[in-house]
């Protein structure tokens, strides 16, 4: 029987090595496929989708800003932005330089802006130009072949309907900064977002901003949009209704044309700000596009300080307007009676120094009413000495809240300064300077010296005098409403009371009668604030002319002109403070501004030119003097 033997494989070492190598390669390949498809599958899936689909974020329309009567002050308009997707360009720098050539922009500036935006998600657009013209959009579209990766998007931009109306109150929007992005307050914001940077726009940013939308668009190989896959709509921001009256605001703004100063009008019973004007102003619309270095230099120039809200941030010696509050302290403390008379020869001697009255020939014998009506400095020098600086501080600061921000809440607010012996001892280094000398009280008693206030503080303090002794917190927003009408926030009908003054109502009544005399008495310094008699509306107030020295030279500069008043005298509904920097006499320059605002509030038409002409005349030295 035949036998068969199993054949043996004669495999040498080379064959085994080759087989092992092939097996290892297959294992590595399988491992790599597993890593690509299982571990990093989503990454490559996203890349694939981004080659076809792009996620575009849609900025929401900001909420409207309206006046107290529902009239729109700020809205939105369509605008064009130029964005750049660097991944769609084979040579990003070359593309940016081509864009710079077409638009006339400096190429280095555009490249710097591109670099400054840092890393983003792949295929996410970077903003190069904001709010460009339609002509520029047409030029870009005509040369699209030179601009791979450049896209033009339509986004809402801010439209300030009335130009620079109430610019310092409304504020402006601008692109969010890197520092702000690090702030937890701006969680959820992205580089390139525009946010409120000043005024109401900043204070109510979270309400006004809305919620961004998103859109998945289909693009071709060149990155151009050819369709849309899906989208999530942007939610518009909520609307903010102000307490400001647009008509009144226009009058206040116009009255300050060509001047530096401030006008603020408030309802003394509720604290509603009816008008808030500061000059010089700026146009908020300039921030919707790129701000040139020249424009920015003009805005922050020390002489103009266009971005300073002089109503809340400007601090000035109040001049003779402050006499009302010194009189309130003197009557309350009993250091003087309403009918006590002092003789004014045109100056008072303190030691060897003469402190002069604004009327160098003197007012002769005056009581409280006559001293306020004629703004007699000598009377208040005497009253100030009797009170002492600390009692002046006690009433001005502790009762009327001078030296403290009002809490309006639309930006940084200056405190001003009411001096006292404790203040001087704390802030002066030289031992000789720490002591308060009695002679320093005299200028403080007429609103000069170390004392400074803001126009809004003056309005708040005067409101407390005329509304029966209640210091109310000023407010500038009535309510916040969503785009579909839901109420998010509303100011209560009752005012927020900061303090109730512990003052005798008879004292307040005497002060009010004296202020009516300032405007209506033939000897008064505030005639030019009076309304035409035919309308039967009585006005009360106080002029002030504050001496100032130039910061550069220290030499006496032109005086600041003040007027603070209210109407109707028997039932005040509006309090106005007007300040003209270096304007001269309060009765001549500030009182007519207050009259314009009061006339607009009560619907009194402008007088014919021949009747208005006398307001342009310079006052006589007796009536309008250097410190009334």
Q: What is the DSSP string of 90-135?
A: SSHHHHHHHHHHHHT--HHHHHHHHHHT---STT--EEEEEEE-HH
Categorise residue 294: left if φ over 0, alpha if ψ from -120 to 50, beta otherwise.
Answer: alpha
Place of tokens 């509303």: 490
The pLDDT value recorded for residue 65 is: 97
The mean pLDDT value for 585-593 works out to 94
> Same domain, yes or no, for 214 and 341?
no
> Same domain, yes or no, for 501 and 601?
yes
The pLDDT value recorded for residue 108 is: 87
Distance (Å) of CA 164 to CA 63, 269, 284, 286:
19, 29, 6, 10
pLDDT for residue 381 is more than 80: yes
The β-bridge partners of 452 are: 417
Domain containing 184 equals 54-242
Q: Does 11 fall in a domain? A: no
Q: Rounded to whole angstroms, how far apart are CA atoms 244 and 261?
A: 19
Instruction: Compute CA 388 distance to the chain's CA centroid, rounded to the nearest angstrom.
Output: 37
> Same domain, yes or no, for 359 and 444?
yes
The pLDDT value recorded for residue 621 is: 36
The pLDDT value recorded for residue 543 is: 96
Where does a domain end: 222, 242, 262?
242
In this structure, are residues 240 and 66 in contact, taking their beta carbons and an 8 Å threshold?
A: yes
> Same domain, yes or no, for 341 and 439?
yes
> Same domain, yes or no, for 187 and 327?
no
The mean pLDDT value for 410-421 works out to 94
> Same domain, yes or no, for 234 and 322?
no
The mean pLDDT value for 360-370 works out to 92
Total domains, the chain: 2
**Greatest mean pLDDT range, 1-10, 216-225, 310-319:** 310-319
Across 33-42, 151-160, 328-337, 485-494, least confident range? 33-42
The pLDDT value recorded for residue 505 is: 95
**Greatest mean pLDDT range, 172-186, 212-226, 603-617:** 172-186
Tell me: the pLDDT tens digits for 48-90? 555 566 666 778 899 999 999 999 999 999 889 898 888 778 8
The pLDDT value recorded for residue 619 is: 42
**92-103 helix and 134-142 helix, angle to the nearest 10 degrees:** 130
Q: Does 65 fall in a domain? A: yes
> Same domain, yes or no, for 442 and 590?
yes
The pLDDT value recorded for residue 42 is: 66
The mean pLDDT value for 598-611 works out to 80
Residues 6+ apart with CB under 8 A from 447: 317, 318, 319, 320, 321, 322, 323, 544, 546
Catalytic residue list = 320
Q: What are the structure tokens assigned to 150, written together? A: 């450049």
**pLDDT band per the 50, 70, 90 thresholds, residue 622:** very low
Is the N-terminal amide bond of 267 cis, ω within 30° of 0? no
Residues 6+ apart with CB under 8 A from 235: 60, 210, 211, 213, 483
Q: Does 251 fall in a domain? A: no
The pLDDT value recorded for residue 295 is: 86
The pLDDT value recorded for residue 549 is: 66
The mean pLDDT value for 565-577 works out to 97
- Sign of the CA dihedral with 395 first, then 398, 403, and 409 last: negative
Phi, psi values for residue 115, rounded to 5°:
-70, -40
3-state secondary structure (DSSP) of residue 557: strand
Q: Rounded to whole angstroms, how far apart are CA atoms 434 and 332?
A: 29
In this structure, are residues 277 and 262 in contact, taking their beta carbons and an 8 Å threshold?
A: yes
> Same domain, yes or no, for 440 and 551?
yes
Q: Which secondary structure element, helix H or strand E, spans residue 159, and what is its range?
A: strand 150-160
pLDDT for residue 40 is more than 90: no
Computed over every residue of the chain, the mean pLDDT equals 87
Tell me: the pLDDT tens digits for 428-468? 888 888 899 999 999 999 999 999 999 999 999 999 999 99
Q: Rounded to whole angstroms, how far apart are CA atoms 446 and 381?
A: 7
Q: Which secondary structure element, helix H or strand E, spans residue 570, and what is its range?
A: none
Tell me: the pLDDT tens digits for 212-265? 877 666 666 555 655 566 667 888 999 999 999 999 999 999 999 999 999 999
> Same domain, yes or no, for 377 and 476?
yes
Where does a domain end: 196, 219, 242?
242
> Same domain, yes or no, for 354 and 429?
yes
The mean pLDDT value for 333-347 works out to 93
pTM, to two decimals: 0.84
Phi, psi values for residue 12, rounded to 5°:
-85, 175
The pLDDT value recorded for residue 298 is: 86
In this structure, are residues 347 and 356 in contact, taking their beta carbons and an 8 Å threshold?
A: yes
Q: Rounded to whole angstroms, how far apart are CA atoms 99 and 143?
A: 9
Q: CB 279: neighbour CB atoms within 10 A?
A: 23
Q: What are the structure tokens assigned to 200, written together? A: 């109401």
In this structure, are residues 482 and 512 in contact, taking their beta carbons and an 8 Å threshold?
A: no
Q: Does 5 fall in a domain? A: no
Quick one: CA torsion of 368, 370, 373, 379, rounded to 10 degrees?
Answer: -60
The mean pLDDT value for 265-287 works out to 95
The pLDDT value recorded for residue 226 is: 59
In this structure, are residues 255 and 563 in contact, taking their beta carbons and an 8 Å threshold?
A: no
pLDDT for residue 590 is more than 90: yes
Q: Rounded to whole angstroms, how far apart are CA atoms 392 and 196?
A: 40
**pLDDT band per the 50, 70, 90 thresholds, residue 33:** confident
The pLDDT value recorded for residue 227 is: 59
Q: What are the structure tokens assigned to 215, written together? A: 């859109």
DSSP string covering 594-617? HHHHHHHHTTPPPPPHHHHGGGGS
Q: CB 339: neighbour CB atoms within 10 A?
A: 8
Across 149-158, 374-383, 576-585, 605-614, least confident range? 605-614
Q: Does 230 fall in a domain? A: yes
> Same domain, yes or no, for 228 and 321?
no
In this structure, are residues 590 and 583 in contact, taking their beta carbons and an 8 Å threshold?
A: yes
Give 383's Cβ-side CA count (13 Å radius). 35
The pLDDT value recorded for residue 178 is: 83
Look up the CATH number of the domain holding residue 87. 3.90.1310.10
The pLDDT value recorded for residue 217 is: 65
> Same domain, yes or no, for 199 and 60?
yes
Q: Rounded to whole angstroms, how far apart are CA atoms 406 and 400?
A: 11
Identify which of 606, 516, 597, 602 has the alpha carbon closest to the alpha carbon of residue 265: 597
3-state secondary structure (DSSP) of residue 240: strand
pLDDT for residue 553 is more than 60: no
The mean pLDDT value for 351-355 works out to 86
Q: Does 442 fall in a domain? A: yes
**pLDDT band per the 50, 70, 90 thresholds, residue 613:** very low
In this structure, are residues 413 and 474 in contact, taking their beta carbons and an 8 Å threshold?
A: no
Tell me: the pLDDT tens digits for 136-145? 999 988 888 8
Q: Rounded to whole angstroms, how far apart are CA atoms 400 and 332?
A: 14
Q: What percent of the chain has pLDDT over 70?
A: 87
pLDDT for residue 1 is more than 80: no
Distance (Å) of CA 622 to CA 165, 346, 528, 625:
37, 12, 15, 6
The pLDDT value recorded for residue 230 is: 60
Across 143-157, 387-401, 610-624, least confident range? 610-624
Across 192-196, 386-390, 464-468, least confident range? 192-196
Look up the CATH number of the domain holding residue 464. 3.40.710.10
Where does a domain end: 207, 242, 277?
242
Q: Does 16 fall in a domain? A: no
The mean pLDDT value for 503-532 works out to 95
pLDDT for residue 3 is more than 70: no
């Amino acid at each position: 029987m035949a036998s068969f033997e199993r054949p043996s494989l004669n495999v040498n070492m080379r064959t085994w090595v080759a087989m092992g190598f092939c097996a290892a390669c297959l294992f590595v390949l399988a491992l790599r496929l597993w890593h690509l498809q299982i571990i990093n599958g989503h990454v490559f899936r996203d890349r694939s989708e981004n080659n076809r689909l792009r996620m575009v974020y849609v900025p929401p329309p900001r909420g409207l800003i309206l006046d107290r009567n529902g009239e729109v002050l700020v809205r939105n308009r369509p605008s064009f932005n130029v964005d750049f997707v660097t991944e769609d360009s084979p040579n990003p720098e070359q593309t940016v330089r081509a864009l710079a050539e077409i638009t006339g922009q400096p190429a280095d500036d555009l490249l710097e802006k591109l670099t400054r935006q840092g890393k983003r998600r792949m295929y996410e657009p970077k903003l190069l130009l904001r709010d460009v013209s339609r002509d520029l959009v047409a030029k870009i579209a005509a040369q699209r072949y030179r601009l791979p990766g450049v896209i033009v998007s339509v986004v809402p931009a801010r439209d300030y309907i009335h130009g620079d109306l109430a610019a310092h109150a409304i504020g402006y929007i601008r692109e969010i900064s890197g520092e702000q992005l690090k702030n937890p307050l701006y969680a959820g914001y992205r580089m390139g977002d525009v946010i409120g940077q000043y005024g109401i726009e900043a204070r109510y940013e979270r309400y006004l901003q809305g919620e961004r939308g998103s859109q998945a668009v289909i693009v071709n190989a060149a990155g151009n949009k050819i369709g849309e896959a899906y989208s999530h709509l942007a939610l518009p921001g909520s609307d903010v209704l102000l307490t400001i009256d647009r008509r009144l605001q226009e009058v206040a703004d116009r009255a300050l044309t060509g001047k530096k100063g401030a006008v603020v009008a408030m309802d003394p019973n509720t604290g509603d700000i009816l008008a808030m004007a500061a000059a010089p102003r700026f146009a908020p619309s300039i921030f919707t596009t790129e701000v040139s270095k020249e424009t920015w230099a003009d805005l922050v120039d020390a002489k103009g300080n266009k971005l300073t809200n002089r109503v809340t941030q400007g601090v000035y010696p109040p001049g003779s307007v402050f006499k009302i509050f010194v009189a309130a302290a003197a009557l309350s403390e009993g250091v003087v009676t309403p009918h006590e008379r002092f003789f004014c020869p045109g100056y008072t001697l303190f030691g060897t120094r003469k402190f002069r009255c604004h009327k160098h020939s003197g007012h002769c014998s005056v009581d409280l009413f006559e001293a306020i009506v004629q703004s007699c400095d000598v009377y208040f020098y005497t009253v100030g000495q009797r009170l002492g600086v600390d009692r002046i501080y006690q009433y001005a600061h502790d009762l009327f809240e001078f030296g403290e921000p009002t809490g309006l809440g639309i930006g940084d607010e200056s405190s001003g300064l009411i001096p006292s012996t404790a203040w001087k001892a704390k802030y002066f280094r030289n031992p000789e300077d720490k002591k308060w000398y009695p002679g320093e009280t005299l200028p403080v008693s007429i609103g000069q010296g170390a004392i400074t206030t803001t126009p809004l503080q003056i309005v708040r303090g005067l409101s407390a005098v005329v509304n029966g002794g209640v210091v109310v917190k000023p407010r500038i927003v009535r309510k916040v409403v969503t785009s579909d009408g839901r109420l998010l926030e509303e100011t209560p009908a009752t005012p927020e009371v900061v303090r109730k003054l512990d003052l005798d109502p008879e004292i307040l009544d005497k002060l009010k009668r004296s202020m009516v005399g300032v405007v209506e008495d033939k000897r008064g310094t505030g005639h030019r604030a009076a309304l035409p008699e035919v309308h039967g509306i009585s006005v009360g107030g106080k002029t002030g002319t504050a001496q100032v020295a130039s910061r550069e030279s220290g030499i006496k500069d032109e005086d600041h002109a003040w007027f603070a008043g209210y109407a109707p005298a028997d039932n005040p509904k509006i309090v106005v403070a007007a300040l003209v920097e270096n304007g001269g006499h309060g009765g001549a320059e500030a009182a007519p501004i207050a009259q314009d605002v009061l006339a607009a509030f009560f619907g009194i038409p402008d007088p014919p030119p021949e009747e208005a002409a006398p307001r342009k005349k310079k006052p006589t030295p007796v009536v309008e003097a250097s410190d009334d």
